[in-house]
Amino acid sequence: MQNKEEIARMETVVANVLEEAKNQGASAAEVGLSIESGLSVICRLGAVETIEHHRDQGLGITVFWGQQKGSANVTDLGEDSIKDGVKAACSIARFSGDDRYAGLPDPDRLATQFPNLDVCHPWALSADQAMTLALDCETVARELDPLITNSEGATVNSHQGISVLGNSLGFLNGYESTRHSLSCSVIGQQGDDMQRDYWYTVARNADDLDSSRHVGVMAAERVVRRLGAQSLSSRQCPVLYAPEVAASLLGHFVGAISGGSLYRKSSFLLDTLETQVFPDFIRIHEQPFLPKALGSSAYDGEGVAAYAHDIVTDGILASYVLSSYSARKLGMVTTGNAGGVHNLTIEPGDQDQRGLLATMDTGLLVTELIGQGVNSMTGDYSRGAAGFWVEGGVIQYPVEEITIAGNLKDMYQNIVAVGNDVDFRRNTRTGSILVAQMTVAGSTD
């Protein structure tokens, strides 16, 4: 249930700030106001470690003095504080250089329809209830197997917030959203070998969270199966990314086709619009209006209407990811992506992970990535990894202390299949992704 009275009050504040910006001489302005509250409880080794209630608010003010831009942020919503914030933003704008691409979005791109995306589900969770949930989750994990010897704890988070955005073009809208989660991380030991792993669940509605038992069992099982990990000799082989790490491949892709990378000419996918960048069975698209989804929104960070569209169709790059500013720099139009993408989805195939293991036959299943070894200019890719060695489509043993390497251009072109084991716990939705061949660097023995 939306808190309509609070949203209306916040919209009034935003409208007043816009009027103040006009009174101080700004030719245009944009204002964002957010108020957030939540509860976080951390339990470790059967005891409560942290209980935190928080409430934050922030007002972001951006003004334009012709083609000059200035911004300021305030946390105090008192009249004097707001006037000082607007004054500061105006002062910065007056002393900034002209930028002919700066300014508010084109008026005809602003959202005018605001469907109910069902993203607000407050959780009447007391601190005692959160403690019980976290303790139960951790206890399940610690007691599942005697090889579980320690814990990094279980955490329950419940978050609720209202965001309002307005600009001097007449756009003004606010909405309330929630986000709840439960996570657990434990440590296992077998002889001298020690491993850690975790699991989590997250949803807009607490009723959609996995049970505390499920999260605890998953965390513990993931640790136990990693015990006895060994390195591999260096080789070329197929690599299957599990869903929880496959999303990073799409993250690198989005970064490469985002306006900022393109107009700075720092992207390995520069000038690839309407060219083949994936195999022809790959479709990647945005779904901003999915009910309850973590990335759902009627508009982007500028108020530009979001819309469902393909970014990749039949393997061909159909659209960049642009804000108004980056679009103007490139001589294009915004794609409604100021602030990022909305429920980016790679269309799944018809096989689950077990089926993809059989398709791979012999190769590496990656379940964890380490480090940031990606060159956004060239696409060169090198990251530490851990996972499992697979032969005959069956997991043989856990592996660690390896590096997987390639070039993202080649990796994208060499995707063999996308699994239907889709991970819905994030803004990027993907199943397992099988890449035909990569370099695995391991031990030199």
- Is the same domain home to 154 and 260? no
Give the CA distances from residue 280 to residues 143, 165, 255, 273, in Å, rounded to whole numbers and listed in that order: 47, 39, 21, 15
Range of the domain at 187: 4-224
Give residue 445's pLDDT band: very low, low, confident or very high (50, 70, 90). Answer: low
Number of separate domains in the chain: 2
Distance, C-alpha 258 to centroid of its chain: 15
Give residue 442's pLDDT band: very low, low, confident or very high (50, 70, 90). Answer: confident
HSE, side-chain direction, 13 A CA sphere, residue 419: 25
- Is the same domain home to 9 and 86? yes
Owner of token pair 């957010």: 34
pLDDT above 70 (res 444):
no
For residue 210, give the nearest of 273, 133, 272, 118 by alpha carbon.
Answer: 133
1-24 pLDDT tens trace: 458 899 999 999 999 999 999 999
- Is the same domain home to 24 and 129? yes
Q: Judge whether 230 lies within some domain.
A: no
- Is the same domain home to 239 and 219? no
Q: Judge whether 320 lies within some domain.
A: yes
CB 84 within 8 A of CB 49: no
3-state class (DSSP) for residue 161: strand
CB 436 within 8 A of CB 416: yes
132-153 pLDDT tens trace: 999 999 999 999 999 999 999 9
How far, in Å, CA of 111 to CA of 107, rounded? 9
Question: What is this structure's pTM?
Answer: 0.94
Q: Judge whether 229 lies within some domain.
A: no
Instruction: Give the amino acid at 244.
Output: E
- Is the same domain home to 152 and 192? yes
- Is the same domain home to 189 and 281? no
- Is the same domain home to 190 and 276? no
- Is the same domain home to 288 and 326? yes
Among 180, 195, 224, identify where a domain stops: 224
Q: Judge whether 61 lies within some domain.
A: yes
Domain at 99, CATH number: 3.30.2290.10
47-80 pLDDT tens trace: 999 999 999 999 999 999 999 999 999 999 999 9
Entry field: residues in the chain: 445
- Is the same domain home to 205 and 242? no
Among 205, 224, 243, identify where a domain stops: 224
CB 26 within 8 A of CB 64: yes
- Is the same domain home to 435 and 288? yes
- Is the same domain home to 150 and 174? yes
- DSSP-derived secondary structure for 334-386: --S-TT--SSEEEPP-S--HHHHHHHH-SEEEEEEEES--B-TTT-EEEEEEE
- Is the same domain home to 309 and 420? yes
Among 191, 224, 257, identify where a domain stops: 224
Q: Judge whether 339 lies within some domain.
A: yes
Instruction: Give the amino acid at 185.
Output: S
